[in-house]
Structure 1
Amino acid sequence: MGCYCSKEAKTPGYEDPATLAAATPFTVNEVEALYELFKKLSSSIIDDGLIHKEEFQLALFRNKNRRNLFADRIFDLFDVKRNGVIEFGEFVRSLGVFHPDAPVDDKISFAFRLYDLRQTGYIEREELKEMVVALLHESDLVLSDDVIEMIVDKTYSDADKKGDGRIDEEERKEFVSKHPNMIKNMTLPYLKDITLAFPSFVMTSEVEDSEM
């Protein structure tokens, strides 16, 4: 299959599918399908070939105004250049971490950075609590403050092997090796079988949202 992308104007930050395929678990055909998905997402609100945070929110929640710390952190990690938008190359490379064939160490590292809210190289207790609350909210689960504190305390005591009140990446890696379910959400099975039909499943308009 030839790259039809060359027949049209490319989006800002566009990278050649062969280059991206070499750097990720995706095939060239899958990168081309992801390009169709990217174009759909990047034009859902502002048609400029870039995914803005509101468009990212819309894709995740069908609502551009539903703010969530978890979604914000995912966006920030996809936005490698830290310029407030996600370009095509960033989109594919970041999604590659969620591929079933991506190295487990890459998944653990991504998840660690997800929880390292202050970007200090450590996960502090309050950061862990903030992410637990955000994940519960994103899953529409309601737990009492006492139960949340118990979850955080148990996780922290198990992971903080050095007992210094913070979790470093090595401690996190050791903890995940014993509790692999901790990074289960770092694998998206459908990324292993992407076709050009895949983008058609993406939510498309705010009009549809308001009618639901």
Structure 2
Amino acid sequence: MGNKLVTFTDQQFENYQDCTFFTRKEILRVFKRFREVRPDLVPKQMKKNQAVSVRIPLEDSIEKLPELHENPFKKRICEVFSRDGKGNLSFEDFLDLLSVFSEQAPRDIKVFYAFRIYDFDGDQHIGQEDLDQAVLLLTKHTQELTPEDRQQIVEKVIEEGDVDGDGKLSYMEFEHVILRAPEFLSTFHIRI
């Protein structure tokens, strides 16, 4: 007759299992990792709407989560998955993020979120500025590419993927490019 701490109700577990690719055990592991980032901020037991209202600040999530710490897109990933759009993650945001990056997530979901991550300006297309920003992030620490080199890469990607000739990649064009580069999606996962 011990006092067992109930983190989530059965209904919450069912909802999380319906909306993610995780089991109850995995959901509890994700919660434990979320709580470890800011134990002073995240309660041991989620009450009412705390799973969406308690948010870990962007700086803490980037610095204290090893899965994000080394990723050049870490800030952008947090922005895309946070409901506030600023990168501050609630538990449900964090759960969604890890679910999409899990090995169980289907390819089409990964492509959808990869598109959102690369669409820095949020205009539903990946234009030259978006691609330049992505190349800059990917090569930030090497500093081997000049602005002219980056521009050449951007132009080549647009040339290869822009089927309709509008100078940018639509979701369908992006998806087509990704399908031709299966190694891209193999790196689009995080283990829990």
Alignment TM class, shorter chain as reference: 0.7 to 0.9
Return the alpha-carbon distance in structure 2 between the equivalents of residues 97 and 37 of structure 1: 16
Runs in 1 of length 4+ with deviation above 6 angstroms?
Answer: none
Q: Percent identity between the aligned chains?
A: 25
Select the structure with the greater relative contact order (CA < 8 A; seq sep ≥ 6).
1
Aligned residues: 173
How far apart are the structure 2 equivalents of 1:91 and 1:53?
A: 11
d(CA) in 1 for partners of 2:135, 2:13: 36
Counterpart in the other structure of 1:144: 145
Distance 1:132 1:58 in 2: 22
Amino acid at match of 1:55: D
For the aligned residue pairs, the C-alpha RMSD in angstroms reads: 2.6
- Structure 1 CA distance for aligned equivalents of residues 138 and 56 of structure 2: 23
Structure 1 residues 22-171: aligned runs within 5 Å? 22-43=18-39, 47-49=40-42, 50-60=55-65, 70-82=73-85, 85-137=88-140, 140-145=141-146, 146-171=148-173
The answer to whether the 8 Å contact 1:5/1:32 transfers is: no
The 1-side partners of 2:175 and 2:100 are apart by 16
Task: Assess, with a 3 A threshold, how the Cα gap between structure 1 residues 5 and 94 changes in structure 2: closer, same or farther.
Answer: farther
**1:38 deviation in Å?**
0.4
Using a 3 Å threshold, how does the CA distance of structure 1 residues 99 and 61 change in structure 2: closer, same or farther? closer
How far off is 1:19 after superposition?
2.0
Q: Distance in 2 between matches of 1:61 and 1:51?
A: 15
- Asked if 1:18 corresponds to 2:14, the answer is yes
Cα deviation 1:71-102 (Å, max 9, x = unaligned):
22111112024375211111111211111110
Q: TM-score, normalized by length of structure 1?
A: 0.72
Superposition deviation, residue 5 in structure 1: 5.2
Amino acid in structure 2 at the alignment position of 1:56 = S
Distance in structure 1 (CA, Å) of the matches to 2:136 and 2:65:
18
Structure 1, unpaired ranges of 5+: 192-212
The letter of the residue matching 2:63 is L
Give structure 2 stretches of 5+ with no counterpart: 43-54
